Amino acid sequence: MNENAFCKEKEYYALFDVINKYDERYITVKGWGATVSMAALGAGFQYGHYGIFLVACISGVVFCAIEAIMKRHQMRYYVRMRQIEAERIGEEYRPQIDWGWTQAPQYYKGVLGATEELPATKNYGKRFWYRLPIFPSVIFPYIISILAGAILFIFGYVGWLKLADGNTMPM
């Protein structure tokens, strides 16, 4: 193995470690986001103020945006990993580390065989960034707090949300 190949292999595994560390951070961000949003929903009922529901909605949006930005930064490393794989293995065989994003559903439905030549993976470039917040892996559980917080805030604002004693919730 020449020195250039050794350096590329080290770079590849360093990139792989960076991507894995992003995944660890996602769990932390998702845990904080779910905790803050759901705690705000509970506090809105406990303290009888519908304005706290707006905090739950906004915190869901903010944590979803943070996670989408993190996902975008993580996806930028995929391109370099793919380049190293293509150089190492060769262009006649397309590396399949990110195969699952586009090809796995076709494979499991039986449309695509395991030995067939796989089409090139999608380019997750500039035209794609705005769809990141709606990835199921990004938006859940935030969508629950966003919708529940917004609906409960609106209901409280218009006076449809009543306390146990029959009074409407104050702001």
DSSP code per residue over 107-164 = HHHTSS-SSSPPPPPP---GGGGGGGGGSHHHHTTHHHHHHHHHHHHHHHHHT--B-T
Q: Output b/e per residue, 121-152; b: 16+ Cβ within 10 A.
A: beebeeeeeeebbeeeebbeebebbbebbbeb
pTM of the prediction?
0.72
**33 located within any domain:** yes
Taking only the tens place, the pLDDT of each residue in 99-131 is 555 565 566 566 665 555 555 545 555 555 566
**171 located within any domain:** no
Taking only the tens place, the pLDDT of each residue in 31-57 is 999 999 999 999 998 888 889 999 999
Q: What confidence score (pLDDT) does residue 96 get?
A: 58
**86 located within any domain:** yes
**89 located within any domain:** yes
**34 located within any domain:** yes
Q: What confidence score (pLDDT) does residue 48 get?
A: 85
Q: What confidence score (pLDDT) does residue 161 get?
A: 82
**90 located within any domain:** yes
Q: Pick the more confident residue, 62 or 140.
A: 62
**73 located within any domain:** yes
Residues of the domain holding 142: 3-158
Q: What confidence score (pLDDT) does residue 113 get?
A: 55
Our count of domains for the chain comes to 1
Q: Pick the more confident residue, 153 or 82.
A: 153
